[in-house]
Amino acid sequence: MGTYVPKSGRGNTRDPRNGKGKGSDVISDVEDDEESEDVDFEETGSDGSDEDSEDETDIGDFIVEEEGLEDLMDEIHEKSFEDCLDGSSKMDKNYKNGKVYVEQEYGSIKLEPWLIFTDREAFLDVLKDYCIQEGFELSVEKADSRRYTAVCAIEGCDWRIHASKMVDKMSWAIKSLTGEHKQCGRLEVNPIVTTKWLVKKLLPEIEANLDVPVETLQNVTQKMFRIQVNKRLFYKVKVVAKEIIHGSFSESYALLPRYAEMIKETNPGSYALITWHNDGGNVDPRFKACFFSFGAQVRGFLKGCRPIIGIDGAHLSGYFKGILLSALGIDGNNEIFLLAYGVVDTESQESWTYFMRNLRALFQREGCNKDDCTFISDRMRGVDLAVHENFPKATRRCCSQHLYMNCKNGGWSGELFHKLFWIAANAYNPYVYNKAMEKITDFDPRATQYLDTCTEQWSRHQFEPEVCCDHNTTNFVESFNAVTKPYRDLPVLRLFEAIREWSM
Ligand SMILES: [Zn+2]
């Protein structure tokens, strides 16, 4: 329930719970079978003494004066809809005497009798905006597919709106609007504000900055609409808005096979594989993994890059989670070069085997039987086995930065250890390396023992000159992770498109 704050000069702090009627369930359909107070306009020839027949007898009040019409014509040079009416039908009369609702900016919405809306939904949308703008809650008296009556939720207030469907069985018109909010106060926490309403209003804000903080959205809502909304609701608003902007997460996975076909068709030589779980029976297949490499990527790597491949996994934070695996090279200009990427459900030996098997197959398809590449990565679970299974003669480097962090977690830290470790890691010859390791042994022999257990290369003096690359960290892979970061909480196709755009 909401809280009322008094309008300036008016001192009403009445609890809305004391209000009448059906409360916060405002603009929902409340179908009832009661005898209608509302007889359809075109059929009311006699005086049914109900609302619409009154309206019909009152139509004269709304006939636009000749003078006013001329003013209107000056403003609208094109022929307006009303000018096309020759008055031959009853509907013409309705439209001539009414006014078709023209979208108004929030804050300046004005309602009046005989305002005509394209349909019921359009009427309800505007009414909702109006209520939030004016800061009051509705109590619905009657709402079905033909008519709608509501009053102000505050007891004692005589504000009332009645609208119904017109003869064309599509348009809706406000038939009467009576009363005034005298001491209702302004509702700042309005229960008729929903996620859907907020999404509609905040979509441009979110589209402009997908990472917009919920606090910002809360402030914008407060400023633009003068309403208080709980911060938590904006998390949901962001999720729904992103789905509208980028399509839904499941839709994105469903479109993946077509995306793969499109890549292969439009980029000859590309490798695009989607793998599904086989659950058997009539169950729809579930996504398991995928692997992509554009023709230009694999050929560019084989022809123009140093024979070293950096591999890494990065978590996806969207609805289905998963891991983005990537393989990157370094070209002659020492720029990072994307070789292949894919998505798997979890980071495991099985996933890495899938990735490495496809990487090998990718090379073989290009006529390259290379099985002696150098791979550099963090010491991730399953990577080592997966690499050697598919590239039996591969050389492995492990990221020194990662190794250093492991040492730090093992309790070896401080300025001296840091200095010695990096002298060892960056040593181009065994002499410097051995000297540094001797000093590390003096510092703590267990640190040397730990570093000796590292089967991968981590000190530069171990690197083969043929690789033409002295990287002993995976920083170049990290920079690719920084590229994908803003897209890793979005549907998979949006992520892949961002990767494709970046790498081209
Ligand atoms: Zn009121």
pLDDT at 401: 92
Q: Dihedral through CA 343, CA 316, CA 390, CA 407, nearest 10?
A: 180
Tokens of 353: 């085997």
Burial class (CB in 10 A: 0-12, 13-18, 19+), 357: middle
What is the Cα–Cα distance from 329 to 340, expressed in whole angstroms? 10
H/E element, 117 = strand 115-117
Q: Give me Rg for the CA atoms of the chain.
A: 35
- For ligand 1, the distance from its centroid to the CA atom of residue 339, given in whole angstroms, is 65
- For ligand 1, the distance from its centroid to the CA atom of residue 29, given in whole angstroms, is 21
Interstrand relation of 186-187 and 4-5 (parallel, antiparallel or unpaired): antiparallel
User: In sequence order, what are the beta bridge partners of 174?
Assistant: 163
Q: Is 249 helix (H, G, I), strand (E, B) or coil?
A: helix
- For ligand 1, the distance from its centroid to the CA atom of residue 179, given in whole angstroms, is 9
> Which residue matches tokens 């859907």?
196
pLDDT at 60: 38
- For ligand 1, the distance from its centroid to the CA atom of residue 49, given in whole angstroms, is 26
Contact 500, 295 (CB under 8 A): no
- For ligand 1, the distance from its centroid to the CA atom of residue 225, given in whole angstroms, is 19
- For ligand 1, the distance from its centroid to the CA atom of residue 127, given in whole angstroms, is 14
- For ligand 1, the distance from its centroid to the CA atom of residue 136, given in whole angstroms, is 7
Give, in degrees to the nearest 5, the angle at Cα 120 between 116 and 102.
35
- For ligand 1, the distance from its centroid to the CA atom of residue 419, given in whole angstroms, is 74
Which residues of the chain are under the pLDDT cut of 70? 1-91, 93-94, 96
pLDDT at 91: 67
pLDDT at 26: 42
- For ligand 1, the distance from its centroid to the CA atom of residue 20, given in whole angstroms, is 11
Q: Is 228 helix (H, G, I), strand (E, B) or coil?
A: coil
- For ligand 1, the distance from its centroid to the CA atom of residue 151, given in whole angstroms, is 8
- For ligand 1, the distance from its centroid to the CA atom of residue 402, given in whole angstroms, is 65
DSSP characters over 390-433:
H-TT-EEEE-HHHHHHHHHHTT--SHHHHHHHHHHHT-SSHHHH
- For ligand 1, the distance from its centroid to the CA atom of residue 156, given in whole angstroms, is 8
Contact 335, 400 (CB under 8 A): no
pLDDT at 317: 85
pLDDT tens digit string along 365-394? 998 887 888 999 988 878 889 999 999 999
- For ligand 1, the distance from its centroid to the CA atom of residue 97, given in whole angstroms, is 28
pLDDT at 273: 94
- For ligand 1, the distance from its centroid to the CA atom of residue 128, given in whole angstroms, is 15
- For ligand 1, the distance from its centroid to the CA atom of residue 120, given in whole angstroms, is 23
Neighbours of 174 (CB within 10 A): 24
- For ligand 1, the distance from its centroid to the CA atom of residue 365, given in whole angstroms, is 75
- For ligand 1, the distance from its centroid to the CA atom of residue 407, given in whole angstroms, is 69
Neighbours of 260 (CB within 10 A): 19
- For ligand 1, the distance from its centroid to the CA atom of residue 5, given in whole angstroms, is 13
- For ligand 1, the distance from its centroid to the CA atom of residue 226, given in whole angstroms, is 18
Contact 271, 297 (CB under 8 A): no
- For ligand 1, the distance from its centroid to the CA atom of residue 125, given in whole angstroms, is 19
- For ligand 1, the distance from its centroid to the CA atom of residue 87, given in whole angstroms, is 38
CB within 8 Å of 478: residues ≥ 6 apart: 312
What is the Cα–Cα distance from 347 to 457, expressed in whole angstroms? 23
- For ligand 1, the distance from its centroid to the CA atom of residue 180, given in whole angstroms, is 7
pLDDT at 382: 85
- For ligand 1, the distance from its centroid to the CA atom of residue 103, given in whole angstroms, is 24
Q: What structural domains and CATH numbers belong to the chain?
A: 4-187 (no CATH), 195-246 (no CATH), 248-397 (3.30.420)
- For ligand 1, the distance from its centroid to the CA atom of residue 19, given in whole angstroms, is 10
What is the amino acid identity at position 307? P
Neighbours of 452 (CB within 10 A): 9
What is the Cα–Cα distance from 482 to 484, expressed in whole angstroms? 6
DSSP strands (E only) in 304-460: 308-315, 323-330, 336-344, 374-377, 395-398
- For ligand 1, the distance from its centroid to the CA atom of residue 186, given in whole angstroms, is 9
Q: Give the residue from 485, 482, 499 showing the smallest Cα distance to 318.
A: 485
- For ligand 1, the distance from its centroid to the CA atom of residue 11, given in whole angstroms, is 13
> Which residue matches tokens 């510092």?
443
- For ligand 1, the distance from its centroid to the CA atom of residue 195, given in whole angstroms, is 24
What is the Cα–Cα distance from 275 to 271, expressed in whole angstroms? 13
Tokens of 1: 């329930």
CB within 8 Å of 352: residues ≥ 6 apart: 325, 380, 382, 383, 385, 386, 387
- For ligand 1, the distance from its centroid to the CA atom of residue 447, given in whole angstroms, is 76
- For ligand 1, the distance from its centroid to the CA atom of residue 182, given in whole angstroms, is 7
